[in-house]
Structure 1
Amino acid sequence: MEQRAIRLRRRLRPVAWIVAVLCVAVLAATATARSTLLSPGFHQRVLDEQHAYDRLYNEVLVDPGTLPVTRDLLARLPVPEAAVTSNLKIVLPPETLRTMADRQIAEVTGYLRGEHDTLRLTVDLRPLLTNVGNLAQTYFGDLVASVQRQPEPDFPAFLADLGKSANAVAEGVPPAGLPTLELSRDQAVAATRALLQVVPDDRRDELRPEVEVALDSGDVASALAAVGPEAVSDRTRRATEQLRGTVGGDTWDITADLDTSSDALAPLHRARSVTHLAQGVVEPLAALLGVAALAFLWVSGPAAPARRLMGLGWALAAGGTLTGLCVVAARMATDDGVISTPASWPGSVSRLVDDLGSAAVDGVLTTATVAAYILLAAGALLVAVGWAWTTGPALTVRPRRAQMLAVGVAGAALGGVVLAPVAAGRAEPRVCQGSSRLCDRGYDEIAQLTSHNAMSTTADQFIGPLQDPHITAQLNDGVRALQIDTYTWERPEQIAERLEGSEFSPRLQGQILAAINKFNPPRDGLWLCHSVCRAGAIGLVPTLREVGDWLRAHPTDVVTLIVQDAVGAEATAAVFEEAGLTDLLFAPDPDPSHPWPDLGEMIDSGKRLVVFAERADGPASWYRNFYRYGMETPYAFRTPADMTCVPHRGGTDKRLFLLNHFITIDGGSRLDAGTVNTRAAVLDRVHACERERGSPVNFVAVDYLTIGDARGAVDALNAER
């Protein structure tokens, strides 16, 4: 009888071994799926790592093949076709899009996990409807500004100021000053006709007398007050009503639309059946059978405990090997892509879908690989201990301790198979400067998008602005280095002197001199200006506080200030202390040739604000002269063809490299920015200058950073490195 039992155990051992191997591999697969495909965080990370939201605006929606769809989507909004893509972020800003996507991801993954039996994908349109009002205001401002094309003498200047005032009114902000000009009767009629273009047809006749009389008498405020509210409110009301009518209210039920289109959700319903079976039946059964099979292998093994340990080790290692082979097979099967998109799809859409699919598969297989390594390591440990036990005469292990070791290692391996993929799938990747790839890169090894004359903005009403959004918006748009100019408000005798050395043309210098004393009297304190404070200025202390607030709200970013300093170093240090930034200031190594720390180290230290000066060098340890640490290219290029890489300030042997990449023609050139700020143009010049200098470019300084794709070029540079 006993011999028969022994023979039966021997026959069952291969079966138990196979069951154990298969169950271990199944546990690895189900744990991987639960921590990746069934985890909302996994899908959100894939979207973020592939910059899906930015690519939607910067690539997909400006793709010529996508424009017909984009126009159709926004056909009911008060936006002309030419302004569709430029105004899209007003209607659907990135943060709103992200919130919508996160909600759908959570709904789908919850459905697949069996948390609810029905699938309901919905979009809350209330943020969109609110944003439509902003779009209507912008549209109204653009229309009013278009009257600047009038050819009458002195009339264009008047209408230019009128357009600025109209923009302010449309945005709900009292204009800082209203234009004045004694208009002829014909000019008043022309201005009235232009302004009335923005109001509904049925309101024009009623408003015309009021607007015309106001303009005829020079009362611009009354004319704007009559026109602005009518234009904004009517367009907003009609747009929101059309959107609500299309989707049946403030909530759009996507599921209902998809279910009526050839059952587009059928694959998702089938996937739920599989995941429900895997989680509810397969995974618990595999865990039970796996433990039972391993226990049977132990109790039915050879009399020597060492050989039993080795048997369990080979089973776990085989399970890890099987998991690894499945990973290899899956990688080979997905080499040519994961999702086949129709040939009719625009190239930008196909590339985005392919990148998202590839990134998701890579994440799943990487997590499965972690599980395979755990099994292999546990199996190798048991085999090594068993082998050492059988071959090493000095090694003595009691049988009871061998059993405890076997149970402990096997249990840890199975637990690791289940829990490690969860940890690998859910752990947030460390991000530095917006990327998980830059944390271990030195500050002097990365590229940073740099805003030239960052304070000189359209938003802050500078004369001849070189950027459009204000500084916080620039940081939100990916800028990580700001070139700023510090000044005290100039006395009358200083104005002419500064203007002579400025980039303004002689004619513009004369116009500024004639106007500044009348409209912009001197002010106390320290300011950020561009050549002449009376041509545009923002307070230095409030702006520094703004930068500090942004840094504290973004704890994984480093920001650099390159200061053209017309303010003394001691006064500057006091201003940074007044702004409450001393805890953020990074002190560079006194030796400029010393390597810079990794971004991760800087972020961990909390010292994430680097400040350079063009003139000063101390006395504060954090306030160093840029040209001791960095070099640059020239900056006075009048055409794109003039751009070179020849040495300028800072020589040729510094660790930091500033590329001045903008055109100056009596000030900034918005038109040329459309050429030099393209991704290809930036990359071509960076690569050329890097080859010529033998050093990586660290700061790519541009004007009008929202034109072109300089940010995409900088991201590509960091990916290359």
Structure 2
Amino acid sequence: MVGSTRIRALRCAAWICAVLCVAVVALTATARGTVLNAGFHRAVLADEHAYDRLYNQVLVDPRITPVTRDLLGRLPVPEAVLTSNLKTVLPPETLRALTDQQIGHLVDYLRGTTDDLRLSVDLRPVVANITGLSRVYFGDLVSSLQERREPDFAAFLADLKDAVGQVGAGRPPAGLPTLALTKAQADTAAAALLRAAPEDVRGTLRPEVTVALRNGDVATALAVVGPAAFSERTRDAAARLRTAADGGTWDIGADLELDEVRQVRAATRLTLDVVEPLAAALGIAALAALWFTGPDARSRRLRHLGWALAAGGLCTALVALVILWTVGRGPVEVSAAWPPSAARLLDDLQSAAVDRFLAGMLTAALVPVAAGALLVGLVWAGERRETPARARRPGFWPAAGATALALAGAALVPLAFSDDTPRSCQGSPRLCDRRYDEIAQLTSHNAMSTTADQFIGPLQDPVITDQLDAGVRALQLDTYRWERPEELTDRLDESDFPPELRRQIAAAVQGLNPPRPGLWLCHSVCRAGAIELVPTLRQIGDWLRAHPDDVVTLIVQDAVSGEDTEGAFREAGLRDLLFTPDEDPDRPWPTLGEMIDSDRRLVVFAERADGPAPWYRNFYRYAMETPFAFRTPDDLSCVPHRGGTDKRLFLLNHFITADGGSRLDAGVINTRRAVLDRAHACERERGGPVNFVAVDYLTVGDAKAAVDQLNAERD
């Protein structure tokens, strides 16, 4: 009797030990597959589009804008130049690659694969992007200075390094020309140059710098400021940066406090190296004890093993529920001082990580539960076979369940194959009966000037077809021929430069910008970015043919003739898609459904031309607009501009132009509320519906939702 009691106690202890060990192994397996797996973290970031949201939501959040402006204000480069080119120098895919490297280093350290935590950033992709951008921007200038057809950047950088060394040593660099500056221009240049020097020495340096610049002696002015500007601290920082850049990596681990990470590593190493193998060994021993101390019947032993495995899995699932109840979907509390967009991004990342972790834990729990259920089920099935046939009667509930599934399938299968989808126009069934002049369309300002196409100072990020995929239905495009040097120098006649300075600049640009044949889409100056017109038109045509229920509008800022434009559309094969507006601008437009039925779904306007092709009409005969040269969001207004006040179509220019586009301001004005408020105000003031909402950086904010709301309000 005593022996059997001890055996039962041993069996009970073995069963409990097996259950706990199965749960521990499942939990450690979950940790290996989630928080200690680099793919887990990368998947969370990818699922929440973290890299794109960083650019399009966080960095342009109005709450973070003052901080960003303060940081940018310390650099002697216009804010718009930095923010508009940010995604060119450090695009999301490059940032993703850099982040993936750090995730891999950290996970390897926590798992014990490596003994030292080396967080090093590979700077080569960033340097390559900067190099590519600088070569696009400065290529013609460098080749002109070197009097070569193609620039030699290695020689240019060597000369530049030598010149900087001379300036830092207080020696005027050789080769700089004298400039004929007016007194006002010299004083302005002196003030700008002195900002590079410490504030306490500017007063001492100012007289000599001002005199040198008034005499046009730029080299001497630089030499005066150089020693003060290139302080020892600056030299040290430059040396560190040069070392990092030349080596291709930047070791950031030395700048971080890693004590907490080391404590976490100690815990993970203990768990993976000691707890997990110990639990696995004890679990196997406990299951063996259950088998050897179990009842005589083998089926009953198997049932005990099955219940132990299933109970361990259920314990794991219970732990998952406890974690969800105690920790929630946001383990890290977000500070109220954080900007809303950053808080939302962190909350979404936490929620996604917790969901994936719990899903991994429940999956790990399911394995022993399924194994245990299989063992118990096999035992039950074997016992059923040993029972007399007359004792096995068909159950009611299995039969009822099969009948219900059959009826549900019979009802749902016809619905799955039915074609009762309502007709859609421009993405909405409600717009098919709406006239073209009654709908609102998201419009991409300077649609060709994109980060993807490597424009200097881009105003959009995705290429044109991706903009169309994002909901844009009107594109503002600028057509050009590549500038000849004389065309660039002609612009100097409208400047306030003195004659001698104009002559010097004109001489400098004679070797710039050798013209390229054909028609181009550029933003002001083709050397700052250009894509060919005809191939781009073909891409738009291909997109239209792949989307037969959409209408697209092009508003062309035309610096080429109407005849050349007509030829480009003919060469691109778009004549069968072109819509011809009524000759009378006051007549109502057809409905979108009518335009789609006729397959004339490409509307083309020009800012200057009016023909000769009948489909190529002057935009301002048919449309009116707001001003477009707004410097700050507070400047936005609805006052009449080109096109007067009584046209059927209404263009709302909703972007900021301050030394180029402003990505930061786009974060303020591209919000759904800001777009709606201004559109409603302008509609009341101008007495007509807004048809085109033109924005920069269309992926920033939610202008598309505002346009959808405008259309919904017009039902």
Q: TM-score, normalised by structure 1?
A: 0.51
1:546 deviates by: 8.4
| Structure 1 residue aligned with 2:47 | 49
Distance 1:55 1:489, change over 3 A: closer
| Structure 1 residue aligned with 2:18 | 20
Contact 1:134–1:171 (8 Å) recurs in 2: no
1:451 deviates by: 5.5
Distance 1:480 1:116, change over 3 A: farther
- Aligned mate of 2:259, from 266, 283, 286: 266
| Structure 2 residue aligned with 1:100 | 98
- Aligned mate of 1:614, from 602, 605, 614: 602
CA distance in 2, matches of 1:390, 1:480: 64
Secondary structure class of the residue paired with 2:302: helix
| Structure 1 residue aligned with 2:311 | 318
1:303 deviates by: 3.4
* Number of matched pairs: 490
1:54 deviates by: 3.4
Deviations 1:53-91 (A, max 9, x none): 334344444456656765776676434679776665566
AA matched with 1:27: V
1:22 deviates by: 1.0
| Structure 1 residue aligned with 2:290 | 297
2:476 maps to 1:472: no
CA distance in 1, matches of 2:180, 2:283: 92
2:702 maps to 1:704: no
- Aligned mate of 2:444, from 443, 452, 460: 452
| Structure 1 residue aligned with 2:238 | 244
Contact 2:522–2:530 (8 Å) recurs in 1: yes
Q: Show structure 1 runs of 5+ residues with no match.
A: 139-164, 176-184, 213-225, 259-263, 397-442, 491-521, 551-559, 577-591, 593-610, 617-633, 643-658, 688-698
2:322 maps to 1:329: yes
CA distance in 2, matches of 1:122, 1:459: 27
Of structures 1 and 2, the one scoring higher in RCO (CA 8 A, sep 6+) is: 2
Contact 1:316–1:375 (8 Å) recurs in 2: yes
CA distance in 1, matches of 2:350, 2:654: 43
Q: TM-score, normalised by structure 2?
A: 0.51
1:370 deviates by: 1.3
AA matched with 1:705: Y
Deviations 1:108-135 (A, max 9, x none): 1111001122223234556667777899
2:368 maps to 1:375: yes
Deviations 1:519-575 (A, max 9, x none): xxx999888799xx9xx995345437989999xxxxxxxxx9947699799965699
Distance 1:638 1:353, change over 3 A: same
CA distance in 2, matches of 1:43, 1:361: 11
2:356 maps to 1:358: no
CA distance in 2, matches of 1:93, 1:523: 28
CA distance in 2, matches of 1:91, 1:574: 35
Contact 1:679–1:708 (8 Å) recurs in 2: no
AA matched with 2:289: F
Question: Which moves more between the two structures, 473-482 or 331-340?
Answer: 473-482
1:454 deviates by: 6.1
2:337 maps to 1:339: no
CA distance in 2, matches of 1:460, 1:367: 37
After the TM superposition, which residues 537-552 of structure 1 pair with which residues of structure 2 at under 5 Å, given as runs?
A: 539-543=532-536
AA matched with 2:444: H
AA matched with 1:298: W
CA distance in 2, matches of 1:275, 1:173: 58
Distance 1:528 1:91, change over 3 A: closer
AA matched with 2:371: A
Contact 1:478–1:711 (8 Å) recurs in 2: no
CA distance in 2, matches of 1:267, 1:205: 58
CA distance in 2, matches of 1:473, 1:239: 46
1:381 deviates by: 2.5
Distance 1:452 1:485, change over 3 A: closer
| Structure 2 residue aligned with 1:34 | 32
Q: Show structure 2 runs of 5+ residues with no match.
A: 146-178, 195-205, 390-425, 430-440, 482-514, 544-549, 556-564, 577-592, 594-598, 605-621, 628-635, 639-648, 681-690, 710-715
| Structure 1 residue aligned with 2:588 | none
CA distance in 2, matches of 1:304, 1:541: 83
Contact 1:36–1:42 (8 Å) recurs in 2: yes
1:107 deviates by: 1.6
Deviations 1:551-602 (A, max 9, x none): xxxxxxxxx99476997999656999xxxxxxxxxxxxxxx9xxxxxxxxxx
CA distance in 2, matches of 1:541, 1:81: 34
CA distance in 2, matches of 1:83, 1:382: 68
AA matched with 1:710: D
After the TM superposition, which residues 140-539 of structure 1 pair with which residues of structure 2 at under 5 Å, given as runs?
A: 243-244=237-238, 249-250=243-244, 252-258=250-256, 264-335=257-328, 337-393=330-386, 452=444, 455=447, 457=449, 468-469=459-460, 472=463, 475=466, 479=470, 483=474, 539=532
Computing the radius of gyration from Cα coordinates, the structure with the larger value is: 2
CA distance in 2, matches of 1:470, 1:349: 21
CA distance in 2, matches of 1:715, 1:270: 52
Distance 1:189 1:239, change over 3 A: farther
Contact 2:444–2:475 (8 Å) recurs in 1: yes
Contact 1:90–1:134 (8 Å) recurs in 2: no
After the TM superposition, which residues 630-641 of structure 1 pair with which residues of structure 2 at under 5 Å, given as runs?
A: 638=626
1:349 deviates by: 4.2
Contact 1:32–1:368 (8 Å) recurs in 2: yes
1:336 deviates by: 7.1
1:480 deviates by: 6.9
Deviations 1:677-697 (A, max 9, x none): 22434689999xxxxxxxxxx
Contact 1:26–1:283 (8 Å) recurs in 2: yes
Secondary structure class of the residue paired with 1:338: coil
CA distance in 2, matches of 1:242, 1:561: 58
Contact 1:455–1:484 (8 Å) recurs in 2: yes
Contact 1:313–1:382 (8 Å) recurs in 2: yes
1:384 deviates by: 2.5
AA matched with 1:279: L
Secondary structure class of the residue paired with 2:269: helix
Deviations 1:469-500 (A, max 9, x none): 4863884999576756999999xxxxxxxxxx
CA distance in 2, matches of 1:273, 1:482: 56
Distance 1:537 1:74, change over 3 A: closer
Distance 1:61 1:570, change over 3 A: closer
| Structure 2 residue aligned with 1:407 | none
Question: Which moves more between the two structures, 378-387 or 362-371?
Answer: 378-387
Secondary structure class of the residue paired with 2:299: helix
AA matched with 1:614: L
Contact 2:44–2:353 (8 Å) recurs in 1: yes
1:318 deviates by: 0.8
AA matched with 1:244: A
Deviations 1:6-35 (A, max 9, x none): 654433221121121111111111111111
1:716 deviates by: 13
